[in-house]
C-alpha cells in the first residue's frame, strides 16, 4: 500500500514477511518500506484475501496511526482470534 508520502510504502502480509522477501521483490522501488514479520493468519487458513481487505479498510480509517501500532490494535498474537475478527468483520459488513 502506498501512503501519501511517495517514498514510504507499507507491505502487509497476513502470513508475515521477511526482509529478504521485501528486498527481492521490491528492489527496484525507491523509498522506505515498512512490513510485518508477525504471522496473523494460521497456516491452514484460506482467508488471505479477506485479511488483506480487512487491513486495507482499517488502514483507510486509521491513516494517522503508525503501521506497527495499527497492526497491534487490529490483530493479536493468537491466529485463531484473528481469524474470528476477520470472519466477524465480513459477517457484519459484507453481505452475500
Mean pLDDT of the chain: 90
pTM: predicted TM-score of the whole model, two decimal places = 0.87
Domain span at residue 54 reads 8-93
DSSP class of 2 = B
Q: Is the pLDDT of residue 1 over 70?
A: no
Residue 67 belongs to some domain of the structure: yes
Per-residue pLDDT of 2-45, as tens digits, reads 566 668 889 999 999 888 888 888 888 888 889 999 999 999 99
Q: Does any domain span residue 3?
A: no
Task: Give how many domains the chain has, as a whole number.
Answer: 1
**Residue 48 Cα distances to 27, 65, 90, angstroms:** 24, 23, 13
Amino acid at each position: 500500500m502506498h501512503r501519501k508520502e511517495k517514498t514510504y510504502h507499507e507491505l502487509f502480509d497476513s502470513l508475515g514477511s521477511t526482509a529478504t522477501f521485501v528486498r527481492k521483490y521490491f528492489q527496484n522501488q525507491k523509498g522506505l518500506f515498512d512490513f510485518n514479520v508477525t504471522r496473523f493468519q494460521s497456516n491452514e487458513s484460506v482467508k488471505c484475501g479477506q485479511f488483506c481487505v480487512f487491513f486495507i479498510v482499517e488502514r483507510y480509517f486509521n491513516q494517522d496511526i503508525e503501521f506497527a501500532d495499527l497492526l497491534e490494535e487490529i490483530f493479536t498474537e493468537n491466529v485463531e482470534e484473528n481469524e474470528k475478527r476477520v470472519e466477524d468483520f465480513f459477517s457484519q459488513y459484507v453481505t452475500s
